[in-house]
Chains A and B, each alone.
Chain A
């Protein structure tokens, strides 16, 4: 990430997600100590790093939010549905405060929300919480244990930031300000390390500070301030309170010896929670992928040259490079793979909010969240899935009394499921609601002039109509769904990802929408074929087998060509005719059998050239709308081969046959 603040914001996103997850778990199991601890930990880390990066309003708000959870954690308050609701609203408020940016004052609206939320939190948990807007600053430390006896302690803190840390976004001024929020401080800068002007680097921090802190503070609170200063020199020592510090003698003398044992603080603990993984900016992954794509193309060129020159030393090296590039490709692709649960995780909140907005009891179940998909597909999937889940809850799930009358459980279930099948990933949204009303769809489609009134369509064809632009059967437009843009937009996104959508619905039993998506968008294994003089690539994931085409074709009813492969008849499409290249006179043609739309279909080609790694390049706007093409790729000799989209070719062939019939 470019700047430390961006890194913080990214982490804050993760922490907010963790907080939400914990809160939603608590909604179901209010006693769950692990999730109470998770929520507390997320808040605590957010507060600490938020303060460090100048998000003072955020820190103040979370401080009180955290107090409430402290009460829950120590058993003096309990998780109630009300608390979860306010806590979720507070989570959203934190997100708004993060959007506000560092070192920014609250807007009046946000200050209002701030006050209201803290008031509610305080009311529910019985905490004495005041908003940042009202709270006197010296309140910070004591409000942790409002009823505990105030024990003043004196701390001697020596802090020398790592010289280069300013460049990492460390703000010593904020750290010192935070310390002074803990109690009375006296800060003395140590300038001995500042070099002469000739060797002075203005970007380095040469100053150390000695801070005398007096207040009801324990060591952990001080260490928290320096939580992210892993490379800094830091010593925290407790010293005797002096007469001017405090009127009464200290009560905690007994604690001193064992405090003294840990005189030199270990460097503050960092966030090691990430394990041994690293964060990488997404655009760097994209760059890596693009360069890998060019490398694959260059390697193909090397291979072509090597077979031309036919020198064993060259061909040996070329083969070695090919193996290395293949390995590099697989590793790079695996870096880009993320679990689908990253998308699924967002839906618990959505389902909870929608079901309470619409007064329908809905439970969400997820399966196969560990299935991995390319990052770009994950990113693109969220919006379509939101539309689909909204549609399911809004249109699919019946109201509780209708469900009861039909003998269904009162709580409806929506299931998000992911599974990998060959080179595709299937993502399914299913509900146990009323199913699609084919009659209503039909009537609507006729009204919208999508079909003519005498057209007879199968149920499956009618179901596909819900993805047409401007189609919506909802009688009243709600703010949840029903503007007719949703499902149309879903299809747009899925088409752009080279995916397909299947709809299965049974009246009274529910609807199941399945998205079939490729695992990756960038590089695929392809099978190169020749049609006439041109080369085309068929994605290998779709290919089942290649067979010879007998010279005597088997022509069956209405012009559909069939080929007997072992026991079964497989229809096939002549690509040369579909492409308008004219009848091929070639001998010894072959048929590539693919799976498209769940069927086995053959593509007759002049020759099967072989397998290759295919870097998918997008087509220009002049060719994007040509049906049957998934993109283009550059071959070893620099020429371009088109990549075929098996599903779209079958659709086109069906359409051509219908027009011809």
Chain B
């Protein structure tokens, strides 16, 4: 099964929260998903596709950031263990689990990565101005991974840092 994300709101400016320091009414379209009971969101524009879990191949001696890889339509894509990067326990594969294939530029190089979500939930429009710093209860997580949090229908949604620059393999222990 494959779900296409219809990003009809692709034109929504992302990251243009202010003009001359004055907040404007910018909204951005986010894809929300669940991991370990928490709700996360990333910009829809970064998501290339959402696919059912597939057989992955473990990469010996590759470290904990990207311990395995898989074939997405003929391209070899690393499966990033986002749970490990965010300091979460590793999880079971659920019936609702999906792979998010995300295209990001790392160090100027366009790279596809896959992350496993427990469930893909919704596409929402959020006002950029409403992005708040992560509340105190969230400090157990590495803050460089997040842009902030928004409240949506009474629920707290954590925005992943949109360039995923926290995955950069240079200078970190990531590749070890």
Interface residues of A (CB under 8 A from B): 294, 297, 534, 578-581, 617-623, 625-629, 632, 634, 638-642, 652
Q: Name which residue of chain A comes closest to B75, CB basis.
A: A617
Q: Name which residue of chain B comes closest to A631, CB basis.
A: B76
Pick from B4-12, B28-36, B39-47, B64-72 the stretch touching chain A.
Answer: B64-72
* Contacting pair A640 B109 (CB below 8 A): no
* Contacting pair B175 A622 (CB below 8 A): yes
Q: Does any Cβ of A come within 8 Å of B59's Cβ?
A: yes
Shortest beta-carbon distance from A641 to chain B in Å: 7
Cβ-defined partner of B70 (8 Å) among A297, A534, A619, A640: A640
* Contacting pair A639 B71 (CB below 8 A): yes
Cβ-defined partner of A640 (8 Å) among B57, B111, B169: B57
**B 101-125 binary contact with A (CB < 8 Å = 1; else 0):** 0000011010111000000000000
* Contacting pair B62 A623 (CB below 8 A): yes
Given A617-B76, A625-B175, CB of A579 within 8 Å of CB of B62: no
30 A-B contact pairs sorted by A residue (CB < 8 Å): A294-B74, A297-B74, A579-B61, A617-B74, A617-B76, A619-B69, A620-B66, A620-B111, A621-B106, A621-B111, A622-B62, A622-B65, A622-B78, A622-B167, A622-B169, A625-B175, A626-B60, A626-B62, A627-B61, A634-B74, A638-B54, A638-B71, A639-B57, A639-B71, A640-B56, A640-B70, A642-B57, A642-B59, A642-B60, A652-B61
Shortest beta-carbon distance from B61 to chain A in Å: 6
Please provide the 10 A-B residue pairs with the shortest distance between their CB atoms, ordered closest to farther. A579-B60, A622-B66, A622-B78, A640-B57, A620-B78, A632-B76, A617-B76, A626-B62, A639-B55, A640-B71
Shortest beta-carbon distance from B79 to chain A in Å: 9
Q: Which residues of A contact B113 (CB under 8 A)?
A: 620, 622
Q: Name which residue of chain B comes closest to A641, CB basis.
A: B57
Q: How far, in angstroms, from A629 to B71 measured CA to CA in the complex?
A: 17
Shortest beta-carbon distance from B2 to chain A in Å: 14
Q: How far, in angstroms, from A578 to B61 measured CA to CA in the complex?
A: 9
Q: Does any Cβ of A come within 8 Å of B80's Cβ?
A: yes
Q: Which residues of A contact B152 (CB under 8 A)?
A: none
Q: Does any Cβ of A come within 8 Å of B93's Cβ?
A: no
Q: How far, in angstroms, from A625 to B113 measured CA to CA in the complex?
A: 16
Cβ-defined partner of A632 (8 Å) among B60, B69, B106, B169: B69
* Contacting pair B74 A534 (CB below 8 A): no
Q: Which residues of B contact A534 (CB under 8 A)?
A: 57-58
Question: How many A-B pairs with Cβ below 8 Å?
Answer: 79
Shortest beta-carbon distance from B48 to chain A in Å: 14
Known: A620-B112, A641-B57. 14 other contacts (CB 8 A): A618-B76, A620-B69, A622-B66, A623-B62, A625-B175, A628-B60, A629-B59, A632-B76, A634-B76, A639-B57, A639-B71, A640-B69, A640-B70, A642-B59
Q: Name which residue of chain B comes closest to A626, CB basis.
A: B62
Q: How far, in angstroms, from A90 to B69 measured CA to CA in the complex?
A: 55
* Contacting pair A581 B76 (CB below 8 A): no
* Contacting pair A623 B74 (CB below 8 A): no
Considering only residues 117-176 of chain B, those with a C-beta below 8 Å from chain A are 167, 169, 174-175
Q: Does any Cβ of A come within 8 Å of B77's Cβ?
A: yes
Q: Name which residue of chain B comes closest to A634, CB basis.
A: B71
Q: How far, in angstroms, from A534 to B74 measured CA to CA in the complex?
A: 19
* Contacting pair B71 A578 (CB below 8 A): no
Q: Name which residue of chain B comes closest to A633, CB basis.
A: B76
Shortest beta-carbon distance from A522 to chain B in Å: 14
Q: Which residues of B contact A628 (CB under 8 A)?
A: 60-61
Shortest beta-carbon distance from B66 to chain A in Å: 4
Q: Which residues of B contact A652 (CB under 8 A)?
A: 61
* Contacting pair A622 B80 (CB below 8 A): yes
Shortest beta-carbon distance from A469 to chain B in Å: 15
Shortest beta-carbon distance from B165 to chain A in Å: 13
Q: How far, in angstroms, from A529 to B43 measured CA to CA in the complex?
A: 41
Q: Which residues of B contact A580 (CB under 8 A)?
A: 60-61
Q: How far, in angstroms, from A580 to B69 measured CA to CA in the complex?
A: 17
* Contacting pair B61 A640 (CB below 8 A): no
